């Protein structure tokens, strides 16, 4: 249940169209619904503005479908991350049709909010093609949360002109997600060019001395550019969600 649904419920009680007992029945699922193998946080949209997100990794396809169904029934949309092809197939059998983003490994059940065409976008910048899965996870997450997203891919520091040609698009963004492996220098470069906040995402892409993303993580944490925040290694979802929150807060001004 989100804030708008709760307000409508209270108005129906006040107008006498809904009894107190019936209203209590609808609220009985708050703040969570116990499915046995999972406790679905049905109250999260009311607290944070978006329903609980399903983390598919480690779950069975049946568990993902069951949780997604309960979330979508209450909120019209369920976002499922780190999903497999088997999870997608199970969801298609259960729901008939889902939005499947193969590169991002994201599945969306239901209808996400549409972004305003006039809204300033969230920009997602990736250093190389190998970073695409993490970059797409960030981009699809932000889109599912209602943001317009600009993708600027394969624009790493080894060919800095590939980034600079997009300077105007960067300047128009409300928030910028920068995804990079290897040494992770791209986040500092972008952070030194723009006024928007930058969310840096280190990836596990690189040779042995990158230590599965530890080297770019440390580079980003030690950025000399102000306005750069860092999420965990390969955490495109966290970066996309954070960028959407920034866009939402700035859009209320």
* pLDDT tens digits, one per residue of 37-66: 999 888 888 778 888 999 999 999 999 999
Domain boundaries defined on the chain: 18-110, 122-251
* pLDDT tens digits, one per residue of 58-116: 999 999 999 999 999 888 899 999 999 999 999 999 998 899 999 999 999 998 888 87
* pLDDT tens digits, one per residue of 140-156: 999 999 999 999 999 99
Question: Distances in Å between the alpha carbon of 218 and those of 21, 45, 95?
Answer: 55, 34, 43
In this prediction, residue 206 carries a pLDDT of: 93
**Mean pLDDT of all residues in the chain?**
92
Mean pLDDT calculated for residue range 208-232: 96
In this prediction, residue 154 carries a pLDDT of: 96
- Matching residue, tokens 């220098």: 185
In this prediction, residue 74 carries a pLDDT of: 84
Render 147-215 in DSSP notation, one character per residue.
--EEEE-S--GGGTHHHHTTHHHHHH-SEEEEEE-TT-THHHHHHTT-SS-EEEEE-S-S-GGGGGGHH
In this prediction, residue 2 carries a pLDDT of: 67
Task: Write out the H or E segment, with its range, that includes residue 60.
Answer: none
Q: Judging by beta carbons within 10 Å of its beta carbon (0-12, 13-18, 19+), is residue 167 exposed, middle or buried?
A: exposed
In this prediction, residue 102 carries a pLDDT of: 96
Number of Cβ atoms within 10 Å of the Cβ of 214: 15
Mean pLDDT calculated for residue range 155-166: 94
- Topology annotation, domain 122-251: Rossmann fold (3.40.50)
Q: For 82, left (φ over 0), alpha (ψ -120 to 50), or beta?
A: left
Sequence-distant (6+) residues with CB within 8 A of 95 are: 65, 69, 72, 109
In this prediction, residue 48 carries a pLDDT of: 82
Q: Is the pLDDT of residue 25 over 80?
A: no
User: Helix 61-75 to helix 85-95 angle, to the nearest 10 degrees?
Assistant: 50
State phi, psi for 26 to the nearest 5 degrees. Answer: -70, -30
Number of Cβ atoms within 10 Å of the Cβ of 69: 17
d(CA 184, CA 210): 10
Percent of the chain with pLDDT over 70: 96
d(CA 139, CA 89): 23
């Amino acid at each position: 249940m989100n804030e708008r649904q709760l307000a409508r419920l209270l108005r129906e009680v006040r107008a006498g169209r809904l009894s107190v007992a019936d209203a209590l029945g609808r609220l009985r699922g708050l703040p969570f619904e116990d499915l046995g193998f999972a406790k679905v946080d049905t109250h999260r949209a009311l607290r944070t503005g978006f329903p609980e997100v399903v983390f598919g990794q480690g779950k069975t396809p049946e568990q993902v479908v069951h949780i997604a169904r309960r979330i979508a029934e209450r909120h019209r949309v369920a976002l499922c991350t780190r999903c497999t092809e088997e999870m997608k197939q199970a969801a298609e059998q259960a729901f008939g049709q889902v939005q499947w983003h193969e590169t991002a490994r994201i599945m969306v059940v239901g209808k996400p909010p549409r972004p305003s065409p006039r809204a300033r976008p969230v920009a997602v910048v990736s250093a190389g093609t190998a970073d695409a899965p993490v970059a797409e996870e960030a981009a699809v997450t932000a889109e599912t949360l209602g943001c317009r997203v600009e993708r600027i891919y394969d624009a790493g520091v080894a060919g800095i002109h590939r980034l600079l040609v997009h300077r105007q698009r960067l300047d128009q963004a409300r928030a910028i997600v920068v995804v990079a492996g290897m040494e992770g220098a791209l986040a500092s470069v972008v952070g030194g060019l723009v006024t928007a906040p930058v969310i840096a995402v280190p990836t596990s892409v690189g040779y042995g001395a990158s230590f599965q993303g530890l080297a770019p993580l440390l580079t980003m944490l030690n950025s000399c550019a102000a306005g750069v925040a860092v999420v965990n290694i390969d955490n495109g979802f966290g970066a996309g969600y954070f960028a959407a929150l920034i866009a939402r807060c700035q859009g209320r001004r």
